[in-house]
Amino acid sequence: MAWKSLDDMDLTGKRVLTRVDLNVPVENGQVTDTTRIDRIVPTVQAILAGGGTPVLLAHFGRPKGQVVAEMSLRQILPALESALGQSVTFGADCIGEAAAEAVAKGGVVLLENTRFHAAETENDPEFTKALAANGNVYCNDAFSAAHRAHGSTEGLARLLPSCAGRLMAEELAALEKALGQPERPVMAVVGGAKVSTKLDLLSNLIRKVDHLVIGGGMANTFLAAQGIDVGKSLCEHDLADTARSILAAADEAGCEILLPADVVVAREFKAGAANEIVAADACPADAMILDAGPDAVARITSTMQGCKTLIWNGPLGAFEIEPFDRATNAAAEAAARLTKSGTLVSVAGGGDTVAALNKADVSGDFTYISSAGGAFLEWMEGKTLPGVAALEG
């Protein structure tokens, strides 16, 4: 990868326009989860240590080009200052006089929501020039927004000397290790509700990995495509031909597809619902499949033990409610053990995936957990991410 890191840049006396992800959950004006804020701290500290002025650019919500008070980054300021352990100057706009005055004060600077300007999402050249006026160097530390070709994510990299921040560099290195130049054999776990949302992902992975585990509601569609009655389970019956073509393509590519041989079924979708374990082809007509069974988990973990690399996106069952989180938890615990033992490189990402691994209490044991949602998925799909491509020049 041809992008530069912060260590490749001379930051002395430079204003460093730094694209970060501050799109954090807020309730009643208070940040309720500081994870994304905490993850940008190393980049801000590195810029300060290098003699530069970090000028933070970020979006918050989707104001659609309007100034929306509830989406102002001003409310993030206390949490940001707490994470950095120092005061932060706030600019009431990301361009123009308000921005210039804030940047002139030095220290750490946070400019207002870039999406208060419609020109940001349009990647308007004049708007991007106005952003660039307040910087000498551009640093992108927001992989989570790298799939958007916006002014602050892609346009600036075309106007200023550019580099990846600490978090971005860490993310790109982890992803390269997982799918770019992975140690083989490689296993991918792909779960979630619908095949229709992950067609590009599955089509890309069957050409890249040795073993592909399909779980969640997606597995039901593949089972049904093979003539198996899945009862009242969530299933996209209209995608049967698509599922069969994916299975055929995987076979041709030498990729083993792992579908559950046994499943956990219930008549109600609620926590603690009466349930039973049956063979995948024995789902009662009045029941629904809500999790993979123990035999399915045993096969997954056994295959995983022979692998060197694991990439995970999506749960194996309805992990939000017990006891239908057992398969996801057991497979995640196995991945964590193998990672800790040094035999497996494990990379995971996506909102539901992070929530599931946190619930299983194994997030800290994976090699890398991506905080990105859409960008992580598009990278897994094999798509070019504009924000990354711009850094590579």
Extents of the domains making up the chain: 6-167, 182-380
Q: How far apart are the first and last CA of the chain?
A: 11
Q: Is 120 annotated as a binding residue?
A: no
Other CB atoms within a 10 A radius of the CB of residue 141 amount to: 31
Distances (CA, A) of 81 to 102, 107, 113, 196: 16, 12, 17, 42
**Active-site annotation holds for 374:** yes
**Active-site annotation holds for 351:** yes
Average pLDDT of the chain, as a whole number: 95
Of 371, 12, 384, 362, give the one whose Cα is nearest residue 168: 371
Buried b (16+ CB within 10 A) or exposed e, 14-50: bbbbbbbbbbbebeeeebeeeebbebbeebbbbbbeb
Whole-number Å distance between alpha carbons of 263 and 88: 53
Q: Is 28 annotated as a binding residue?
A: no
Answer whether 6-167 and 182-380 agree in fold.
Answer: yes
Peptide bond connecting 42 to the previous residue in cis, omega within 30 degrees of 0:
no
Of 351, 359, 373, 382, which one is the catalytic site residue? 351
Q: Which residue has the tokens 């997030």?
A: 363
Residues in the chain: 393
Q: Is 59 annotated as a binding residue?
A: yes
**Active-site annotation holds for 194:** yes
Give the tens place of pLDDT for each residue, 157-190: 999 999 999 999 999 999 888 888 899 999 999 9
Of 194, 267, 308, 383, which one is the catalytic site residue? 194
Give the tens place of pLDDT for each residue, 98-156: 999 999 999 999 999 999 999 999 999 999 999 999 999 999 999 999 999 999 999 99
- Given this model, what pLDDT does residue 377 score? 87
> What's the half-sphere exposure (Cβ side, CA atoms, 13 Å) at 60?
25
Give the tens place of pLDDT for each residue, 18-65: 999 999 999 988 999 998 999 999 999 999 999 999 999 999 999 999
Of 15, 19, 36, 39, which one is the catalytic site residue? 36
Q: Is 22 annotated as a binding residue?
A: yes
Give the tens place of pLDDT for each residue, 104-114: 999 999 999 99
Q: Which CATH class is domain 182-380?
A: alpha beta
**CB of 42 within 8 A of CB of 91?**
no
- 135 strand-pairing partners: none
**Active-site annotation holds for 36:** yes
What percent of the chain is modeled with pLDDT above 70? 100
Asked if pLDDT for residue 230 goes beyond 90, the answer is: yes
Asked if pLDDT for residue 2 goes beyond 90, the answer is: no
pTM: 0.89
Whole-number Å distance between alpha carbons of 134 and 95: 8
Please state whether beta strands 15-19 and 53-57 pair in parallel, antiparallel, or not at all (unpaired): parallel
> In the CATH hierarchy, which fold is given to the domain comprising 6-167?
Rossmann fold (3.40.50)
- Dihedrals phi, psi of 298, to nearest 5 degrees: -60, -40
- Given this model, what pLDDT does residue 5 score? 95
pLDDT bracket for residue 330 (50, 70, 90): very high
- Given this model, what pLDDT does residue 1 score? 57
- Given this model, what pLDDT does residue 335 score? 98
- Given this model, what pLDDT does residue 366 score? 97
- Given this model, what pLDDT does residue 303 score? 98
Q: Is 136 annotated as a binding residue?
A: no
**CB of 87 within 8 A of CB of 107?**
yes
Average pLDDT on 282-308 reads 98
- Given this model, what pLDDT does residue 345 score? 97
Asked if pLDDT for residue 302 goes beyond 70, the answer is: yes
